[in-house]
Structure 1
């Protein structure tokens, strides 16, 4: 497998450029007719056409105006087959708004991706994925970096896996779609849907939507995208991002399968919904995608047979989200169906209140921190932001510039194709990206863990508002005050899943170093502390012991999972009067051995030590 890294995207291998015979770029408008006026896309197109003939000048006056569709939320979408300047578009909108048959009109904005248990056996997990480990300040050397950094930004998914892995939940990822990858569960790939209704943006020869949530590429390098009348310039053109695959991997990459990396909720299934393509994606298509993913009906599209528990959207753009906008209405409809919607705050180092869907009512808006637990230099901020999660700081020390480092990125699955996906084994790769796009799926995955844990505990279903409240209340404080604000804190998947399951949060875990004694925290009667020792393959004569101090403790140990407070699931037990407790295994299995020390009476000043003979 290939490891790649870039500030805005991973380095891509060369691929043959394809010029598409796609329809031209369209300027789209979202129109709502007055009550009593037939609300059809054809009627709306007629109104727009009249205004266009009187307001547009030159070649655009002859541009074709045609109906596109009526959205699930009741708005009508029309298209003008021309790229209008901002001034011409504003003039046209004002003219349409003056028509007595029109209740409201707005541009159909293009949204863009925001890119900038025991330790699992996935080979790249330990080396790269700092963001899934506890943000407890442990010193870690990430990837190819030369220097260690204190990890204060991780979400602690590792300890959350002791409770559950999100089994039975579905997370809809509204993004660029999904590529084939051996480290992602692809069972819902065909069940997803492509909502892009512009052939120019989808890369298809027609404006039709299409079944399947597959990513066929979103490159803008080459005609027609970087040509006159396209959406970019040759200097700003980019190869395909495979953004949706990276986001999906962070949510639910397969774990403990012996390959690649891990996901926050490896038991969850991803439902890919393609709404972003070449040049981005229209707000109207995103609104219909939200309706469909949450179980609503969209005309012309088969109903979704796998409604999501969580919708994840690492996308957006400038402009406040108004409650009567298509995105806002679709989100409210999703929330009313019990679906939690998570969105990225944005990468403009600006107030998120001025971005959509980040400022839409009812969403969980996610800001980004780097490995050091501080706001990433690019992350939007403000009271609109609900919580923060690791998005990566990109540069050494989470600075705003300087040297790119592996500790500055979030790591997940990607593809190496420059344009179309490379479907050979050479195309399956892992890469680092940085952005609020990368922070968002950490929250979506944590919500999947919470929902599955509550179901497993046979508790009443948690509403989106309850899930949001638990996520906020269990977030970890920032290592230093954030000004401007970045939400309640950094999410803690372990604390969140315990809160959702209604179980006490286990004590903080202290990692033991072979033969190095650690002074245990004072314990009240019935209190406990937790420790762990990583035992390599082939080690012999494992011993775990407590000595000295005052009081009376009991020691429980187990491979791969912290024993219960009563020791009912422990495989090794030592219970004697006083603090001299020891358990041993002559030929221990390799992996992380967990130790729980329980105070039978008030106990203090004892030491804990683990040892084994090196292989």
Structure 2
């Protein structure tokens, strides 16, 4: 699909928009309790007795009575309870022949697994394992979600469904400093807060007046030659509406697209007018006002933003201006994270303001393959990257169909640019604020930068990687263990098996394999030996009982994990001794 192309004049005092347009809950049950960090406690274990014991029960003359059968099972449960030192109660018998039992205290999954391992020491027990709580993987029902590769794809996109299982931005305000907004059914009425028009220059305000409380976008169109010498005219971009939709379009409303933080609220602050131009002096006031600071001549902002998005910038070869830097400092002091676009000129972003300011999160743009988009700026001031699209496939979001003046019908369009990449990061920042409201701007930046995933394609000087919402949330929730120290003996080479591995019951051993870019499939498997070892695999972090990307959980030692078109990077492997296991072989092989 093609993408419309818009551009803006970068003047020293004029800012051009940076686009190239081309918790799970369980009610009424005492069996589970959810903690603030998103993990849960439970008291349910499934136990299956070996066939001889079951056969004895079924052949007994008195087992014809279900009541007597229940007594027999309860007797076994009581016996196991004494062996493991726990109070256990039979809940019910299952059609599989196993029994569902419960402990008298809630435990985390690791504790339940350890208890199940103790139960396995009884020779009458065939297997014992925690009862796992299933939940729906969050996939929104928005009708155009299928076209949002930027949210779904695991190569060039952000794999949002796993992050949405943890947070959706509820309770967070994202200020979009842009062209204003237009009423759109995928943004209104829940997400748009009363904003402000901060444009004081009536020559570019496009609405005939100066600053006021109306942040509606009147259109940024201009006659030929007005925006730059020799241009053929400038259509209205409705840029702020598109940016706002990427960050926080309504999700699960059976309509259109969904935003990264689809339950956050948008605070529109109008700073760009005719030709999509705006003055730095207005931007500085807008940044402070959006964060809840006092700006003379304007009313107090009653909805201070935790996240400020600026998909725009101007040429500033000598570095960030003192005016803008002081405004950003004030916003940060008020607790707001400022996210800005790197720019679209394929140059070093250190010459672009506010990308070159201190304390901001500067965002480059990647294409569908996860490499640097050919227009994106780059350099040492860039912190990380996000999907921005290219001429082949842009970013779909909310828009208006009018070329000059707004039309009433709902409209969606593909744009591309660092303007589109930036609200992806702003949306993820909003997710962090929604789970930790008192998080600081420095903490937000640190988490986003340090959890970004490696680029699957070339993106030189694009920062630390592509923003990774799931890893960022896991880090803030304490669910992202530090990978084990690099030890050569733990490294798996492609197609070369580690043999003679021994794992005692309840013990874990760890390995890792580094997968290069461009791999079509990755197979990690165990075989051979004696006992029962469980295979856990996780991308870029140590797996454990609660966090893994693959866990076959089969009987014996024949377990296999396959990843199709795997991401490049390190895959960490844990072998857990479900029972005493000897002479295991472990292999990682990619094509």
Residue 465 of structure 1 corresponds to 442
Looking at structure 1, the residues matched to 342 and 502 of structure 2 have their Cα atoms a distance apart, in angstroms, of 42
Deviations 1:551-578 (A, max 9, x none): 547899xxxxxxx97689xxxx999965
1:602–1:276 Cα change, 3 Å: farther
Residue 400 of structure 2 corresponds to 415
Give the conservation status (yes or no) of the 8 Å contact 1:294–1:307: yes
Give the secondary-structure state (helix, strand or coil) at the position aligned to 2:274. coil
Looking at structure 1, the residues matched to 414 and 552 of structure 2 have their Cα atoms a distance apart, in angstroms, of 45
Looking at structure 1, the residues matched to 407 and 390 of structure 2 have their Cα atoms a distance apart, in angstroms, of 29
Looking at structure 1, the residues matched to 502 and 467 of structure 2 have their Cα atoms a distance apart, in angstroms, of 27
Cα distance, 1:447 vs structure 2: 0.6
Give the conservation status (yes or no) of the 8 Å contact 1:315–1:344: yes
1:160 aligns with 2:168: no
1:187–1:233 Cα change, 3 Å: farther
Q: Which of 204, 215, 225 is matched with 1:213 structurally?
A: 215
1:505–1:182 Cα change, 3 Å: farther
Give the secondary-structure state (helix, strand or coil) at the position aligned to 1:441. helix
Cα distance, 1:435 vs structure 2: 0.5
Deviations 1:403-440 (A, max 9, x none): xx3xx2111111111112112xxx31111111110110
Cα distance, 1:328 vs structure 2: 1.4
Residue 192 of structure 1 corresponds to 195
1:320–1:310 Cα change, 3 Å: farther
Give the conservation status (yes or no) of the 8 Å contact 2:320–2:356: no
TM-score (normalizing by structure 1): 0.60
- 1:39-78 matches, within 5 Å, as none
Give the conservation status (yes or no) of the 8 Å contact 1:321–1:356: no
- 1:563-574 matches, within 5 Å, as none
Residue 453 of structure 1 corresponds to 435
Q: Which of 311, 315, 319 is matched with 1:314 structurally?
A: 311
Looking at structure 2, the residues matched to 492 and 257 of structure 1 have their Cα atoms a distance apart, in angstroms, of 25
Looking at structure 2, the residues matched to 166 and 267 of structure 1 have their Cα atoms a distance apart, in angstroms, of 5
Residue 368 of structure 1 corresponds to 365
Q: Which has the larger radius of gyration?
A: 2
Cα distance, 1:121 vs structure 2: 1.6
Cα distance, 1:598 vs structure 2: 8.2
Residue 111 of structure 1 corresponds to 15
Cα distance, 1:129 vs structure 2: 1.1
Give the conservation status (yes or no) of the 8 Å contact 1:190–1:213: no
Give the secondary-structure state (helix, strand or coil) at the position aligned to 1:110. coil
Structure 2 residues without counterparts, runs of 5 or longer: 21-136, 484-497, 511-524, 537-542, 560-574
Residue 140 of structure 2 corresponds to 120
Residue 259 of structure 2 corresponds to 263
Looking at structure 2, the residues matched to 555 and 183 of structure 1 have their Cα atoms a distance apart, in angstroms, of 44
- 1:531-546 matches, within 5 Å, as none
Looking at structure 1, the residues matched to 421 and 381 of structure 2 have their Cα atoms a distance apart, in angstroms, of 15
Residue 325 of structure 1 corresponds to 322
1:231–1:134 Cα change, 3 Å: closer
Alpha-carbon RMSD: 3.6
Structure 1 residues without counterparts, runs of 5 or longer: 11-85, 87-106, 136-151, 395-404, 456-460, 508-520, 529-545, 557-563, 582-596, 608-615
1:243 aligns with 2:239: yes
Looking at structure 2, the residues matched to 488 and 576 of structure 1 have their Cα atoms a distance apart, in angstroms, of 38
Give the conservation status (yes or no) of the 8 Å contact 1:188–1:272: no
1:454–1:554 Cα change, 3 Å: farther
Give the conservation status (yes or no) of the 8 Å contact 2:320–2:354: no
Looking at structure 1, the residues matched to 208 and 554 of structure 2 have their Cα atoms a distance apart, in angstroms, of 76
Looking at structure 1, the residues matched to 281 and 450 of structure 2 have their Cα atoms a distance apart, in angstroms, of 34
1:276 aligns with 2:262: no
